[in-house]
């Protein structure tokens, strides 16, 4: 295992080194003294593990492909933004726009996520063990957002085909987002996601409610003018 | 963009280190606001005296001579503490108006930018770390302080446009964001008798809070009311004689992170600003919720 101390090695050197890894490498790296620096472990494209010891700043693990990034602390705005594949696991909280625009992979947040969690997601799966803030899953196109706690205002506003599962209370649903029945296929997907997030059967799937698109805003319609 | 930092000490033994803690926090936020900076610090004070923070337009202002003249005019000696272009005049509370009149008459190119039992306000154009150094922030002591680094968007880069803005005795406000209805609100507040010195949006927010409090609202109520009347993006941090408060707009686009230990409560626009604080690894770190007024006070 390689240890990188960000008080010694510059952030640019760290990211450059991670970008330069040869194909197929599966090494483990430990990053110490992150001290809230921005853009740590961004743009990875190798099946490596990067463990960050402490709190990370903005855009940590953004654009991740293949890699497994673990943050032993909390993360700032835009965690795992635009992730393509791989896993990002933050053991504390995440600030706003966690998992924004993600195309794939799994983001696990052990604590709470701020506003706009999973905004405009396009395939990423997100499991939040705490609660999410307002405007989460705004315009979410694909993928899933699982919330074990509560969801803030305007959940799933203008949502497309992403699946939202919330165990706690939802302050309000956004435009065109409605509750939908939790069918077997959804239970199966939910069970898989919880397992992937390290929860092996201790959570009753029946406690979740599913939300998704009413599909009324897909195309412009004069009657819906107020909702656009 | 702009950056805000603030620290409120619960452990009084840390009070001599307040300035050095704040200076380090301010330094990390240079990137967020390189054009100007300012801070308000709540140091020693007693109810029999008021501290008037004066700011001179010239770098060679003779504050000592002015203090002597003002002292002679009001019949009581005036203690003066000079920090570059700023100076704090300490006058008996009963002579405050006489001292203000005398400063207005005798002080050339000098204006009073803040007043209070404990608050001192410093601000200047320039890189925040250089501004902190010019005023020797690192050697100031106190119970709490807030600071701001500015990247101007709504008005010119001038010392008047820098934060904090005083909202009344021992009260000040710093702001990250931009208000979209400040022109209309400024006109309304002018009609109610308030005056403004800049085109700055934050000065309007400060004026709004001053006006609300003059109408009988508490600071907490005034902040609650601002949620209805201020339109735009904002994270506000306000300072009072005994504490500080935080408010984010309902959309909460402007960042905020807080840390609390047994020794202090700290605010930063980014966690980087808090990373150097003592015991931060054991601190409770969280993001203040949108549209919720937070307040910490000394008991």
3-class secondary structure per residue, B235-255: EEEEECCCEEEEEECCCCCCC
Active site residue B2: yes
Nearest to B252 among A36, A54, A96 (CB): A96
Average pLDDT in chain A: 96
Q: Please return the burial class of B111, using the count of CB atoms within 10 Å of its CB with bins 0-12, 13-18 and 19+.
A: middle
B257/A76 CB distance under 8 A: yes
A115/B285 CB distance under 8 A: no
B272/A37 CB distance under 8 A: yes
Domain at B45-117, CATH from 3.40.50.10310, 3.30.70.20, 3.40.50.1970, 3.30.70.3400: 3.30.70.3400
With a pLDDT cut of 90, the percent of chain A lying above it is: 91
Instruction: Decide if pLDDT at A204 tops 80.
Output: yes
Q: Domain A2-216 classified CATH 2.160.20.60?
A: yes
Q: What is the largest CA-CA distance in chain A?
A: 60
Q: Please return the burial class of B241, using the count of CB atoms within 10 Å of its CB with bins 0-12, 13-18 and 19+.
A: middle
Instruction: Decide if pLDDT at A220 tops 80.
Output: no
CA B35 from chain center: how many Å? 17
A76/B270 CB distance under 8 A: yes
Q: Please return the burial class of B47, using the count of CB atoms within 10 Å of its CB with bins 0-12, 13-18 and 19+.
A: exposed
* A74 contacts in chain B (CB < 8 Å): 271, 285
Q: pLDDT tens-digit profile of A4-15?
A: 999 999 999 999
Q: Please return the burial class of B32, using the count of CB atoms within 10 Å of its CB with bins 0-12, 13-18 and 19+.
A: buried
Residue boundaries of the structural domains of chain A = 2-216
**Gap from A116 CA to chain B (nearest CA, Å):** 10
Number of H helices, E strands in chain B: 7, 16
A93/B contact by beta carbon, under 8 A: yes
* B273 contacts in chain A (CB < 8 Å): 36
Q: What is the pLDDT at residue B97?
A: 96
Instruction: Decide if pLDDT at A227 tops 80.
Output: no
Q: What's the mean pLDDT in A99-128?
A: 98
pLDDT category, A221, cuts 50, 70, 90? Answer: confident
Q: What is the pLDDT at residue B251?
A: 92
8 A C-beta contact, residue B103 and residue B70: yes
Residues forming beta bridges with residue B87, ordered by sequence position: B54, B82
d(CA A55, CA A92): 8
Q: What is the pLDDT at residue B220?
A: 87
Residue boundaries of the structural domains of chain B = 3-43+126-297, 45-117
Pairing verdict, β A177-180 and A163-166: unpaired
Q: What is the pLDDT at residue B149?
A: 96
- The lowest-confidence range among A183-187, B78-82, B213-217 is B213-217
Q: pLDDT tens-digit profile of B180-229?
A: 999 999 999 999 999 898 899 999 999 999 899 889 998 889 999 999 99
B287/A contact by beta carbon, under 8 A: yes
Instruction: Decide if pLDDT at B54 tops 90.
Output: yes
- Of A6, A7, A39, A55, which to mutate for an interface test with B (greatest number of B Cβ within 10 Å)? A55
d(CA A18, CA A32): 15
B274/A contact by beta carbon, under 8 A: yes
A131/B contact by beta carbon, under 8 A: no
Structure token pair of residue B162? 């820098």
CA nearest neighbour of A164 among A183, A184, A185, A179: A179
CATH code that applies to domain B3-43+126-297: 3.60.20.10
Q: Please return the burial class of B58, using the count of CB atoms within 10 Å of its CB with bins 0-12, 13-18 and 19+.
A: exposed
Provide the residue count of chain A: 228
B272/A57 CB distance under 8 A: yes
**Gap from A188 CA to chain B (nearest CA, Å):** 34
With a pLDDT cut of 70, the percent of chain B lying above it is: 100
pTM above 0.90, yes or no: yes
Q: Which residue out of B2, B30, B172, B253 is catalytically annotated?
A: B2
Higher per-residue confidence, A24 vs A99: A99
Q: What is the largest CA-CA distance in chain B?
A: 54
Average pLDDT in chain B: 94
In our burial notation (b when 16+ CB lie closer than 10 A, e otherwise), range A217-226 reads beeeeeeeee
d(CA B95, CA A82): 62
**Gap from A182 CA to chain B (nearest CA, Å):** 31
pLDDT category, A228, cuts 50, 70, 90? Answer: low
pLDDT category, A188, cuts 50, 70, 90? Answer: very high
Q: What's the mean pLDDT in B45-59?
A: 94
pLDDT category, B299, cuts 50, 70, 90? Answer: confident
Q: pLDDT tens-digit profile of A61-72?
A: 999 999 999 999
Nearest to B290 among A35, A92, A115 (CB): A115
Structure token pair of residue A111? 């604590």
Q: Is B42 helix (H, G, I), strand (E, B) or coil?
A: strand
Instruction: Decide if pLDDT at B10 tops 90.
Output: yes
Q: Where are the alpha helices (DSSP H) in A76-149?
A: none
ipTM value: 0.88
Pairing verdict, β A2-5 and A28-32: parallel
Q: What's the mean pLDDT in B247-262?
A: 95
Q: What is the pLDDT at residue B49?
A: 97
Q: Is B150 helix (H, G, I), strand (E, B) or coil?
A: strand
Q: pLDDT tens-digit profile of B117-147?
A: 999 999 999 999 999 999 999 999 999 999 9
């Amino acid at each position: 295992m390689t240890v990188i101390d960000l008080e010694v090695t510059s952030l640019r050197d760290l990211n450059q080194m991670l970008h330069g890894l040869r194909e197929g490498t599966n090494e483990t790296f430990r990053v110490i003294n992150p001290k809230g620096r921005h853009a740590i472990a961004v743009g990875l494209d190798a099946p490596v593990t990067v463990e960050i010891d402490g709190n990370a700043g903005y855009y940590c693990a953004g654009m991740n492909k293949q890699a497994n990034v673990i943050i032993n602390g909390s993360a700032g705005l835009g965690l795992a933004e635009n992730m393509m594949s791989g896993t990002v696991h933050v053991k504390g909280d995440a600030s706003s726009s966690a998992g924004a625009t993600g195309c794939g992979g799994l983001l696990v947040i052990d604590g709470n996520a701020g506003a706009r969690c999973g905004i405009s997601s396009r395939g990423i799966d997100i499991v939040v063990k705490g609660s999410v803030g307002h405007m989460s899953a705004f315009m979410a196109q694909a993928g899933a957002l699982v919330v074990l706690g509560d969801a803030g205002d305007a959940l799933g506003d203008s949502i497309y085909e992403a699946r939202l599962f919330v165990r706690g209370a939802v302050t309000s649903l956004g435009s065109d987002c409605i509750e939908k029945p939790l069918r077997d296929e959804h239970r199966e997907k939910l069970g898989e996601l919880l397992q992937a997030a390290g929860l092996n059967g201790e959570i009753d799937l029946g406690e979740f409610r599913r939300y998704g698109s009413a599909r009324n805003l897909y195309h412009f319609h004069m009657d819906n003018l107020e909702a656009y | 963009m702009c950056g805000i930092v603030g620290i409120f000490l619960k452990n009084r033994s840390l009070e001599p280190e307040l300035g050095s803690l704040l200076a380090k926090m301010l330094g990390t936020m240079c990137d967020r606001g390189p054009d100007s900076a300012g801070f308000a610090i709540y140091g020693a004070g007693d109810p029999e005296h008021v501290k008037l923070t004066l700011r001179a337009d010239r770098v060679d202002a003779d504050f000592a001579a002015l203090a002597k003249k003002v002292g002679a005019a009001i019949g009581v000696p005036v203690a003066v503490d000079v920090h570059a272009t700023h100076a704090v005049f300490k006058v008996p509370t009963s002579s405050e108006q006489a001292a203000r009149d005398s400063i207005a008459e005798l002080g050339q190119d000098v204006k009073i930018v803040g007043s209070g039992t404990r608050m001192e306000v410093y601000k200047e154009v320039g890189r925040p770390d250089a501004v902190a150094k010019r005023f020797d922030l690192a050697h100031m002591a106190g119970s709490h302080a807030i600071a701001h680094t500015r990247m101007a968007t709504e008005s010119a880069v001038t010392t008047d446009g820098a934060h904090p803005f005083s909202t009344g005795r021992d009260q000040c406000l710093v702001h990250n964001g931009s208000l979209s209805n400040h022109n209309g609100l400024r006109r309304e507040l002018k009609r109610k008798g308030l005056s403004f010195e800049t085109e700055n949006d934050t000065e309007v927010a400060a004026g709004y809070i001053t006006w609300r409090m003059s109408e009988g609202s508490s600071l907490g109520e005034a902040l609650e009311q601002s949620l209805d009347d201020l339109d735009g993006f904002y994270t506000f941090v306000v300072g009072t004689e005994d504490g500080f408060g935080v408010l984010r707009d309902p959309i909460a686009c402007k960042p905020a992170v807080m840390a609390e230990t047994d020794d202090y409560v700290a605010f930063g626009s980014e966690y980087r600003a808090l990373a150097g604080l003592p015991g931060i690894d054991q601190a409770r770190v969280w993001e203040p919720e949108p549209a919720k007024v937070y307040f910490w006070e000394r008991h």
